[in-house]
Amino acid sequence: MARIQKKGNSGAAKNYITRTRAVKKLQISLPDFRRLCIFKGIYPREPRKKKKVSKGSTAATTFYYTKDIQYLLHEPLLAKFREHKAVAKKIARALGRGEAGDAARLEKNLVPKVKLDHIIKERYPTFVDALRDLDDALSMLFLFANLPSSDYVPAKTISLCQRLCHEFEHYVIVSHSLRKSFLSIKGIYYQATIQGQDILWLVPYRFVQRTGGDIDFRIMGTFVEFYTTLLGFVNYRLYTSIGLVYPPKFNAKMDEQGGELSAFQLEGRSLITNGTATKSDTPAVINPEAQAIADKIAAQPDAEEEEETAVAPVEAIEDENTEGIDKFEVTAPDADVLPQPEASSAEVASLFAPFTFFLSREVPRAPLEFILKAFGCKRVGWDGSLGDGAFTMNESDPFITHQIVDRPSISTDAPDVPETGKGSATAPKAQWPRSTMPGRTYVQPQWVWDCLNQGKLLRPDLYAPGAELPPHLSPWVKPKAGEYDPTRALQEQELEGEAEAAEDEDEDEEAAEASDEEMGGAEHDTDGLLNRESSVEAGEGMDVADSDDDDSEDSEDSEGDAKDAADEWDGFDSDAESDISEGEAARLQHQRELEAEATGKKLEPQVETTKSKNTAIRKKAEKKRKQEQEERERQKMMLSNKKRKLLKRIEYGTNKRDVEAENLRKKRRRVEKAKAAAEAV
């Protein structure tokens, strides 16, 4: 006879374990359990049949896989946590006795140090696995690098995050791995392609961060502790793969003066950085592919040598960058769209190489410096108030070809700045743009991001200071058929008859507003008349007429009104003519021709108003759409009930998308109309 199985000892009830039982099994505290799960990558699980797992209970319970908890029993970190707990008891006992010196000695000598090296190797068996999991790590570390120090976030952690992030940015600059970037409300998105893996991370803007009290920094600090170890391993592997020494030399004094990226000096075999050739102490055996990349980087001309060479004109450089790329044009409207060839990585990497940029003090220096250097620019200067490490801090340097500004343009007819007097040593400095340098291109910061995303140099006049900028769109979202595309002209996206219908609506609205104003004026006059009549007392200034006179006056008024109405009616208006069918319109035209031939008069051409044209086009488009809708309904009748419901859901989504696109086109049409009216004034 088979053994009777007890309930809850097999199946789903055995595969899951509650958090309380897991903590008791591991014999650690709940904070240590959470920390250990974050390090090992173990997360709560939701059973399919929660009632069976919890033995009929419906209370909110957190479950884990039993195998995951069993796997944690052999973790070496458990011993570290228990040692830390024992030392914490000794420190608390010493503080209770008032022995502060003993407590400090215990904390300095006996507190165990937790190392996560073995966990990194367990979770990421290959380097590609670590690169795939680098998105969240970079976003978290860049966030903590911009936070102010507090009791929850110590300055030591912030400094470590900043150092690791700058080291990673240096690798992206040297390897030219950056591909796309986007300015969003949350921050700046970057995407780099490293060893075939696309890595996307978010960098917040450098504002004063206000941390709320509802944030659990202990959990976030645990993630930061793990991610710093991970990024340290990744940076070491990336640096050594291209023949660079890790960690790079760090100049603390320059960093204190705001050097940031310039505070790090890269070293490698025959690698030239900042005009100094340095040799590394790396072993003689190096990957030949990595050595080839390092030699290529070392062969690049130095910044000081490039100062002596003349800068080529911008127009010629733009022609060179776009000369070798062909575009496949569509021969027919229904033909297949061929994929357009893109510029090679070498061309994109040297996008800003021939230029010398100067950053004004109002633009964000850190992201612009990173992007410009990642795309080949070796000469980036900025104002001295932005920090140390600039190529030049002199705004009037003749080698500067582009200056990035973000100030409103000042009208040329502004009054001159008065002199300070005879005793003044220096005259007041002229305001921008009066002090613009000849031959220099002034652009807004968005020009850099748009050039980066499109892989080519765009027209700088569209991004001139004070100009209305083109829409800044996400490079990861491609417009689909039927959706609104802000980069295309409005006429290319409008449906047949949509523009005419919009014009008719605008005219009707204007006519309605005009009629409302007239009616308002009439009511005002009527009210005034009534007030005047009511102010006259009975028998004062009034002639009382007989009933016969009143009847005669009423008849004359009615005849006059009828005559005025007859005079006002002079045939059908344009709206009535537009309602006439095409056959009736042709018959009336033929009748006019016969009358003109009989009388010998010349037939005057019928002037068709714009409103009648728009109405005809709109009605034709509506008729066409109605026929298409009827044909679609007839085709639906041949489908089964299941397929008809599926098609209905598809049409619901399509109609929703079309309505949204139409609303956006309507909004853009109003904006363009208002802009045209403002320019006309």
The string of pLDDT tens digits covering residues 583-635 is: 676 777 778 788 887 787 766 665 555 666 667 776 777 788 788 888 888 88
The string of pLDDT tens digits covering residues 318-342 is: 444 444 455 556 565 555 555 555 5
In which band, very low, low, confident or very high, does the pLDDT at 14 lie, cut at 50, 70 and 90? confident
Please give the Cα distance from 32 to 34 (Å, whole number): 5
The string of pLDDT tens digits covering residues 194-241 is: 999 999 999 999 888 777 777 888 899 999 999 999 999 999 999 999
What are 471's two structure tokens? 């829409």
In a domain, 416, yes or no: no
- When mean pLDDT is compared across 31-40, 492-501, 568-577, the lowest value belongs to 568-577
The residue from 265, 298, 331 where one domain ends is 298
Please tell me which residue, 487 or 638, carries the higher pLDDT value: 638
What are 531's two structure tokens? 């007030």
Please give the Cα distance from 281 to 114 (Å, whole number): 30
Domain count within the chain:
4
Interior/surface letters 487-510, b for 16+ CB within 10 angstroms, e for the rest: eeeeeebbeebbbbbbbbeeeeee
The string of pLDDT tens digits covering residues 540-556 is: 444 444 444 444 444 44
Q: Residue 392: what residue type?
A: T
The string of pLDDT tens digits covering residues 33-88 is: 999 999 999 999 988 888 788 777 778 889 999 999 999 999 999 999 999 899 99
In which band, very low, low, confident or very high, does the pLDDT at 282 lie, cut at 50, 70 and 90? very low
In which band, very low, low, confident or very high, does the pLDDT at 647 lie, cut at 50, 70 and 90? confident
The answer to whether 16 and 63 have CB atoms below 8 angstroms apart is yes
The percent of residues above 70 in pLDDT, for the chain, comes to 68
- Do 375 and 446 belong to one domain? yes
For residue 54, the enclosing domain spans 12-109
User: What is the pLDDT, as a whole number, of residue 151?
Assistant: 84
Range among 183-197, 347-361, 587-601 with highest mean pLDDT value? 183-197
For residue 199, the SS3 value is strand
- Do 105 and 125 belong to one domain? no
In a domain, 452, yes or no: yes
- Do 191 and 273 belong to one domain? yes
Q: Average pLDDT in the 651-673 region?
A: 82
For residue 179, the SS3 value is strand
In a domain, 391, yes or no: yes
In which band, very low, low, confident or very high, does the pLDDT at 423 lie, cut at 50, 70 and 90? very low
H/E stretch holding 274 reads none
What is the residue-averaged pLDDT of the chain?
76
What are 53's two structure tokens? 């797992």
In a domain, 309, yes or no: no
- Do 261 and 389 belong to one domain? no
In a domain, 610, yes or no: no
What are 433's two structure tokens? 């743009």
Please give the Cα distance from 29 to 647 (Å, whole number): 56
User: What is the pLDDT, as a whole number, of residue 167?
Assistant: 94
pLDDT > 80? residue 95: yes
What are 106's two structure tokens? 């215990």
In which band, very low, low, confident or very high, does the pLDDT at 526 lie, cut at 50, 70 and 90? very low
- Do 282 and 187 belong to one domain? yes
In which band, very low, low, confident or very high, does the pLDDT at 563 lie, cut at 50, 70 and 90? very low
Give the residue carrying structure tokens 């088979």.
2
pLDDT > 50? residue 250: yes
Which residues is 94 bridged to in the sheet? none
- Do 127 and 193 belong to one domain? yes
What are 147's two structure tokens? 């936070």
- Do 177 and 227 belong to one domain? yes
In which band, very low, low, confident or very high, does the pLDDT at 396 lie, cut at 50, 70 and 90? confident
Range among 184-188, 347-351, 492-496 with highest mean pLDDT value? 184-188
Task: Give the CATH number, domain containing residue 466.
Answer: 3.40.50.10190
- When mean pLDDT is compared across 258-267, 396-405, 455-464, 544-553, the lowest value belongs to 544-553
- Do 130 and 229 belong to one domain? yes
In which band, very low, low, confident or very high, does the pLDDT at 672 lie, cut at 50, 70 and 90? confident
The residue from 109, 136, 170 where one domain ends is 109
Entry field: residues in the chain: 681
- Do 282 and 141 belong to one domain? yes
Please tell me which residue, 257 or 344, carries the higher pLDDT value: 257
- Do 278 and 387 belong to one domain? no
- Do 230 and 165 belong to one domain? yes
The residue from 80, 109, 138 where one domain ends is 109
User: What is the pLDDT, as a whole number, of residue 467?
Assistant: 87
In a domain, 556, yes or no: no
In a domain, 598, yes or no: no
- Residue 437: left (phi > 0), alpha (psi -120 to 50), or beta? beta
User: What is the pLDDT, as a whole number, of residue 283?
Assistant: 41
Kindly provide the residue ranges of all beta strands, DSSP E only, lying in 441-507, ordered along the sequence: 441-443
- Do 285 and 158 belong to one domain? yes
Q: Residue 664: what residue type?
A: L
In a domain, 594, yes or no: no
* Neighbouring residues of 636: CB distance < 8 A, sequence distance ≥ 6: 644, 647
pLDDT > 80? residue 427: no
Q: Average pLDDT in the 534-538 region?
A: 43
The alpha-helical segments, DSSP class H, found in 110-196 are 117-123, 127-132, 134-145, 155-175
What are 506's two structure tokens? 């605008």
DSSP 437: P
Query: Other C-beta atoms within 10 Å of 484: how many?
Result: 18
- When mean pLDDT is compared across 64-68, 267-271, 667-671, the lowest value belongs to 267-271
What are 119's two structure tokens? 């966990």
User: What is the pLDDT, as a whole number, of residue 419?
Assistant: 46
The answer to whether 469 and 446 have CB atoms below 8 angstroms apart is yes
The answer to whether 410 and 367 have CB atoms below 8 angstroms apart is no
Q: Nearest CA to 373 among 175, 531, 187?
A: 175
